[in-house]
Amino acid sequence: MQRRTLLRAGAGAVAASTLSRAVAARGTTAYEPSGELQIDGAAEVVLGDDGSTAYVAASTGFATVDVTDPTDPTLLAEERPIQTSGGSAAREILDIKVDGDRLLVPTAAQGGGPLGFFLYDISAPTDPTQIGDFFDTPHGNHNSFIEDDVVYLTGNTQRAAYLSMIDVSGDEFEQLGRWSPSQDLDAGWSEVLGKVLHDMYVQDGIAYCAYWDAGTFLVDVSDPANPEFLVRIGDYQFQELREWSRSRASTDYTEPRGNSHYVAVNDDASVLGVGRETWDSQTDDDHGGPGGISLYDISDPTDPTHLSSIEPPMPTDGDTTQAGTWTTSHNFQFVGDRLYTSWYQGGVKVFDIADPTSPEQLSWWRDPSYAFWTAVTTPDIDFYAATSYSSVPGAENDALVLFPDEAGEQSSAPSSLVDADPLVRAENEFSVDLPGAFDGSDDGTTTQPPTATPEPTATPESTPSSEPTATPMSTESGDDGGSPGFGAVTALAGLGLGAARFLRSDDGK
């Protein structure tokens, strides 16, 4: 990619900002980024409603960026370090969400620093203004959502994994309700190990909750003070999960199946996407490798149907351990008939899902020095935004990267990555639990029959590493934001707790 480097002063204190290098692509017919802005600690990015402003989580704060011209992204404001009223500096800001002119900034994604969230008025993106006080939570906040003046948080503690809902309609915030499988469905869920609430997506009063190996739970939150369970979609049956040993739960935490890491729905909530974040942690078996994205028809939530699964890119050296090239699915977004996806060092891809049983790949850009966290757009713009997160082995770039929203092929693509074969496949069996499965009125459980399909392979053939590589069981100190995702076994860490604490009982206390 041909690029030019610009030094941008911006206004006031921004002149000395660490966000100082903007890069734009020059004219070429090859598919490549339109523009790029280096942002130290970049993680999640969201766009304002009209697509003209990007908001980037940046470890110790956040940045607002003018993306009106996608070839020339320009810093508007940098808020960091942000602090609580008591003077504690926020850390591990990996997520950020927007709703109208309000910006949600959760902290302590891996449990470091003050636990809670900030809320900002961004009606003037050049001058974000804090609303109310920092809201303290009893847990780190790995992921979040905001809709209609309600904040949703991943409430993972040593003994609980719950969806937390807070009213932020005024300057003083108020806890509305909490929901968890063990408290609200069946006490038997307290026996299920590894059921971390990693992320959630909220649309039209339904919360789609990614509970890792426990599956994806749909919860009616139209009254956040009284949430109601609708359905669970998972790769394992409830009774099977209850019987897992700690050894099994630990092994399966970073390997397929299961691993409901990120979830989202399309515009009318007829299609649900479930992203799986996985690696090959046990190289002496044939179960591991990067995870993809499964699509389900949920037009009737009581009768979900698997539509297709998009397989991840594959490193040609065959090393899909956490020490190798990361190509597992991370965050994604549906807009219209398109699905915008990120695959860490596997790049960013856009799919046409007009027929969700047969997604068509429109574009793919990859460079292993970039590890993409997400890919997002809005309906009325002709580009999409992605972020590269450098705390991944081999990744070098912290950046906001803008891409043309068009079909195309990258020229001089790296030979170290290839598409899986097949790229799209059918799914193995999955289980569905309805409310009757847990209240004794009905077993409420159905299972979709398995479909025999070949495993994805990389071309050319390669030999995986013969020894498993474990990631250290702690998050990094300092202000670099720790590990991505619940990224490797470490960041089972997720909240600054050890991995064993996620393989625990859950009584909701």
Which pair of structure tokens corresponds to residue 125? Answer: 């993106």
- The residues with which 271 forms a beta bridge, in sequence order, are 297
Reported as a pLDDT band with limits 50, 70 and 90, residue 14 is very low
Q: For residue 371, give the nearest of 410, 352, 397 by alpha carbon.
A: 397
Question: Letter for the amino acid at 335?
Answer: V
What pLDDT is stored for residue 476 in this prediction?
30
Distance, in Å, from the CA atom of 48 to the CA atom of 25, rounded to the nearest integer, reads 23
Both tokens of 146, joined, read: 């905001």
* Of the listed ranges 51-55, 160-164, 189-193, 478-482, the one predicted with least confidence: 478-482
Looking at the predicted structure, is the pLDDT value of residue 456 above 80? no
Q: What pLDDT score was predicted for residue 159?
A: 80
Q: Compute the CA torsion angle 169, 171, 174, 177 (nearest 10 deg).
A: 30
Q: Distance between CA 96 and CA 107 in Å, rounded? A: 9
- Give me the mean pLDDT over the 253-272 stretch: 96
CA dist., res. 209 & res. 140, Å (int): 17
CA distance 4 to 28: 14
| Domain spans, the chain | 35-433
What's the pLDDT at 428?
65
462 has a pLDDT exceeding 70 = no
Q: What is the pLDDT of residues 17-35, one digit of tens each?
A: 334 334 444 344 689 999 9
By C-alpha distance, which of 278, 324, 256, 284 is closest to 466?
A: 284
**pLDDT value, residue 425:** 87
- pLDDT beyond 50 at 493: no
3 state DSSP class of 366: coil
- Percent pLDDT > 70 in the chain is 80
The 3-state DSSP class for residue 342 equals strand
Q: How do residues 282-337 score in pLDDT, each as one tens digit?
A: 877 777 899 999 999 999 999 999 999 999 999 999 999 999 999 999 999 999 99
At the topology level of CATH, where does 35-433 sit? Methylamine Dehydrogenase; Chain H (2.130.10)
| CA R_g for the chain | 21
Instruction: Tell me the average pLDDT of the chain.
Output: 84
Is-contact 255 265, C-beta < 8 A?
no
222 C-beta neighbours (distance < 10 Å), count: 12
Amino acid 284: pLDDT: 77
